[in-house]
Amino acid sequence: MYAYDEIDRTLVNERVAEFRDQVKRRLSGELSEDEFKMLRLQNGVYLQLHAYMYRIAIPYGTLSSDQLRRLAHVARRYDRGYGHFTTRQNIQFNWIKLAELPDAMADLAEVGIQSMQTSGNNMRNVTSDQWAGVAPGEIEDPRIWAELLRQFTTLHPEFSFLPRKFKIAITASDHDRAAIKIHDIGLRLLKNEQGETGFEVLVGGGLGRSPFIAKTIKPFVHGHDILSYVEAILRVYNQYGRRDNIYKARIKILVHELGIEKFAAEVEEEWLQIRDGALKIDDGVVEDIRSRFFYPAYETLPAMPDELKQAAHDPKFEAWRKNSVFAHKVQGHAIVVVSLKPVGGPPGDATADQMDALADIADTYSFGEIRVGHEQNLALPHVRKSDLPKLWKALDAIGLAIPNVNLVSDIIACPGLDYCSLANARSIPIAQEITRRFANHDTANLIGRLHINISGCINACGHHHVGHIGILGVEKNDEEFYQITIGGRADEGAVLGTLIGPAVPYGEVADVVEDIVEAYLALRAHPEELFVDTVKRLGVEPFKERVYATR
């Protein structure tokens, strides 16, 4: 967890008071919707199909148990008893009333949760690896730098009216769990030959209507200079980014049209003018932020405790452990991923009761800390291995010991047409049907790692372009159809998937996915060859033939 200082607490409380006044003026008619819209968007308040939607930031995916309990309270008191975790480490409430929003916001502010800049053409929630600070082999905790950037960009006047929204993600591990290559700026923490901390800076990634994988703009920027370098990028974007066409306004279009070399030269020129100015970061600033993060005092524990050896005889426990428990940087401890993808359930949703119970579980087994990942799952970052059997039972009691992390039913899906005013087609029922088709755990295990990502429109909130299997909902003559891509991935080897053929109707999507999976099982070179590797080796043709041979 991160403890806000007095400046942040004041900022958050002042924002609540300001928004309360804005809502009051809107409801009295003093503000028109045209005047109010930008104000509500700057606080994460959208209007969706059925109601307002309130998007709340979970910076770098880190939550305390008290914060999770407060989210449960908001779900129960102001919404319909559940929340939806998104692909950008936010949580959304779908049924909130405008008149009650200031109260919900005030309740959240008491525990340091806010929603500033979760919408609008500004710097969005800075995201990071949900295993930050505990992943083995990590360079250092990337959240410190994410927090630095959060402070720098929050209410920054120069970045409050950008040509379009702007997203930064940071990773510090070889394996990229933060999907940095599909962000406007991706930062990969590394050390130079002198052992100094810095970043490989990538720019121009993004999905949506025109998907691009980010390109490296500078292989090493010293940590002391990262703010000035990010500012230089944003200044060039602010100057040249298109404001005349919303579809061409993201930085990815500018980088693509200018070319990375020309864009980099522009940034370099800007940077040289500001790099030695006020934005130079000294170690004291970094250490102050580091000191505000909570790091548990880990005990010295055995790598393989007796409790774990005994529990290994239970096949249900083992099935869960193999897919949910991951290596921790400290011996005797583990990272536990809590899947929010039950068979037949909406991906990424958690009820208020589950949130409350998970907060209690985190207090007992994870030093009161919970993480949120972009795959729409949660994680407990500090679990003693000896506690795993008891933790598993506690999770099972609330329906969250779901042994499908990284398997075919661990689906990323946007809210789609069931909620979203931008959507063309439904996402959630498609995900639910696919999870039912692959409900058999042995079958899912046999298939192995396979990420299905579903978006209900071209805006790609479900990251369909980078799903191993990507599903995009489109509308044709008032009917839902779905385009299928395969071979995409969002990690350090990020690549966009390839379309396999014509869109298929709603009722056939799960059949198509089954066909693709069956083709993979028949075509893979050996059981350890992952789906994406088979597609990479063979291309899409064999899968296309299988899917369309009978259609």
**Which residues in 415-454 contact other proteins (CB under 8 A)?**
417-419, 426, 428-429, 432
Select 32 or 194, whichever has its Cβ closest to other proteins. 32
252: left (phi over 0), alpha (psi -120 to 50) or beta: alpha
Quote the least distance from Cβ 53 to other proteins, whole Å: 8
Select 131 or 419, whichever has its Cβ closest to other proteins. 419
Q: Which of 206, 345, 462, 470 binds other proteins (CB under 8 A)?
A: 345
Select 217 or 454, whichever has its Cβ closest to other proteins. 454
Quote the least distance from Cβ 43 to other proteins, whole Å: 15
Tell me the CA distances in angstroms from 289 to 5, 11, 138, 356, one per residue in order: 10, 17, 18, 29
Quote the least distance from Cβ 94 to other proteins, whole Å: 9
Q: Is 244 in the site for other proteins (CB under 8 A)?
A: no
Q: 262 burial class (0-12, 13-18, 19+ CB within 10 angstroms)? A: exposed
Nearest to 80 by CA among 93, 98, 67, 66: 93
Provide the β-strand partners of residue 452: 469
d(CA 476, CA 460): 18
The pattern of x and - marking residues 37 through 76 that bind other proteins according to CB under 8 A reads ----------xxxxxx------------------------
Binding segment toward other proteins, per CB under 8 A, in 92-100, 117-125, 177-185, 517-525: 92-100
d(CA 286, CA 326): 29
Alpha helices in 406-525 (DSSP H): 428-437, 441-447, 509-523
Binding residues for other proteins, how many (CB under 8 A)? 34
Select 170 or 413, whichever has its Cβ closest to other proteins. 413
Q: Which of 61, 346, 373, 497 binds other proteins (CB under 8 A)?
A: 346
Check if the beta carbon of residue 189 is closer than 8 Å to that of residue 170: yes
Q: Which of 9, 73, 80, 256 binds other proteins (CB under 8 A)?
A: 80
Quote the least distance from Cβ 70 to other proteins, whole Å: 17
| φ/ψ of residue 206, rounded to 5 | 165, 160
Produce one character per residue of 279-295: b if its CB has 16 or more CB atoms within 10 Å, e if not: bebeeeebeebbeebee
The pattern of x and - marking residues 137 through 176 that bind other proteins according to CB under 8 A reads ----------------------------------------
Nearest to 167 by CA among 211, 122, 233, 199: 122
Nearest to 139 by CA among 198, 185, 182, 87: 198
Select 133 or 346, whichever has its Cβ closest to other proteins. 346
Binding site for other proteins (CB under 8 A): 26-27, 29, 32-33, 47-52, 80-82, 96-99, 345-346, 349-352, 417-419, 426, 428-429, 432, 478-480
